[in-house]
Each structure stands twice: as C-alpha cells, then as structure tokens.
C-alpha cells in the first residue's frame, strides 16, 4: 500500500511540475500593456532582428504570403527567403530588400530581379522591420488585453497575453488584410518581457476565410549590412 501511495504521489508531483505557473487572468490590462511595450522596445532597439512570419497553408485559390524568414535591421533592410503561393503553386525565392528596392532570385532565375510585392499580395519584408510602422507596432496597438494560461518552453515559463487588433493595423503587415475587420492576437512573453512569439488570426485575404500567421522575432547585438545586388 505504501508503495502504491508513493507512486501515486510521485505521479501527481511530476504532472504538477510539467505545468506552467499560475494563470494571469486577473492581471490588469495596463500591466499587460507595459510588458508588451517593453517587448517592443527591446526589438526596436536591437541592431539586428531575426524574423519568421509564416502560416501552415493558404485557402484554395488564394495568392499570398506563405512564409518569410531572414534577418534585417531598422534602416530598414532585409535578406532571407520568402515563399508565396500563386496560381496554386508555391514559389520560393531568395530576397534582398533595402533602400526601397526589393529584388528576388528564384530557382529558375540566375540573377536577382526587381519585383513589386503588391502583385503577390505580400509585404515588402524590409517594411516589417521598420521600427515605426513595422510589425512591432502590433504590441502597442492591440486592444482588449487579457492575461491567459501560462505555458512552458523548455525551462522557461511563458505568459500568454490575448487581445484584438484593428484590421487597419494588420493591413500594414499583410496588404490584403481586411481593414474593416478585427483580428485575434495572442502573444507569449518571457519573464524578462521578451516576445517569444505572436499569433494573428483573421481575414488576411478577400474571400479566403480566416488565416493564422505565427510571428517569431529574436534579436542580436551584432550589426548586419544589407545591400541590394
């Protein structure tokens, strides 16, 4: 009997250890905003930002951004790999954007060619890194903030913050987003108020239904120089 009780107690303690800390449902919205603003400051002050913006899939018939992964700085500039869906096919390209010029090189093109991202209903990836009008503005523009369930990422306990974003703000990230709609936002923050990831859900494309994008941003103190080929 003692052996069974000890085993049950160990199992309970193990399950408790796998859980995050207490939920933050009763945290004041102003305190949550301070944490999100602190996370934005960290990103906007960094020399280099590594960014991943991706969705698992796009609705049938939709032309748009599948993913953008790379690094940039606040000049703004970006270099990395972008994948778009157009005509039912996925197109991957090496991309460099700086000084207002965006060039891409695909697997069937030996050189970089200047492109207009609007034709693919995708953002200029350099614009995402802009400290004033880029993707970090969502951290100050999210409304109806609420604390949520805590979760673990390895040894770290992350705080979840949820809220809503006006479509007019989301449209600055994905140009085809419905500016009149309201988008759901979910953020996960470390105890040091660093943004681990953000999830945005809503009507990013006309007649495409809701699409979910996940954003991951990390920083580096090492400067990066990016020039258009």
Delimit the domains of the chain by residue range: 22-220
**pLDDT at site 109:** 82
Whole-Å CA distances, 45 to 39, 74, 131, 136, 221: 10, 9, 8, 11, 9
Closest CA to 43 of 205, 229, 197, 203: 197
What is the gyration radius of the CA atoms in the chain, in angstroms? 20
Q: Which backbone phi and psi does 173 adopt, to 5 degrees?
A: -95, -50
pTM reported for the whole predicted model: 0.86
> Would you give the distance in Å from CA 83 to the centre of its chain?
15
Specify whether domain 22-220 bears CATH 2.50.20.20.
Answer: yes
pLDDT < 50 positions in the chain: 1-22
């Amino acid at each position: 009997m003692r052996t069974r009780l000890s085993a049950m107690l160990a199992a309970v303690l193990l399950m408790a250890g796998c859980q995050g800390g207490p939920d933050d449902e009763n945290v004041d919205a102003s305190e949550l905003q301070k944490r999100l603003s602190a996370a934005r400051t960290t990103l906007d002050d960094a020399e280099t930002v590594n960014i991943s913006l991706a969705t698992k899939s796009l609705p049938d018939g939709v032309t748009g951004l599948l993913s953008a992964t790379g690094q940039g700085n606040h000049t703004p500039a970006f270099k990395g790999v972008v994948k778009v869906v157009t005509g039912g096919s996925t197109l991957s390209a090496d991309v460099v954007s700086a000084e207002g010029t965006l060039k891409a090189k695909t697997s069937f093109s030996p050189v970089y060619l200047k492109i207009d991202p609007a034709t693919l209903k995708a953002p200029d990836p350099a614009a995402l890194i802009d400290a004033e009008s880029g993707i970090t503005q969502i951290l100050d523009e999210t409304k109806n903030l609420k604390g949520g369930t805590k979760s673990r990422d390895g040894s770290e306990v992350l705080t979840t913050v949820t809220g809503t974003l006006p479509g007019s703000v989301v449209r600055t990230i994905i140009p085809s987003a419905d500016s009149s709609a309201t988008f759901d936002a979910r953020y996960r923050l470390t105890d040091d108020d660093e943004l681990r990831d953000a999830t945005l859900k809503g009507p990013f494309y006309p007649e495409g239904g809701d699409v979910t994008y996940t954003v991951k941003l990390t920083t580096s103190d090492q400067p990066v120089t990016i020039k258009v080929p």
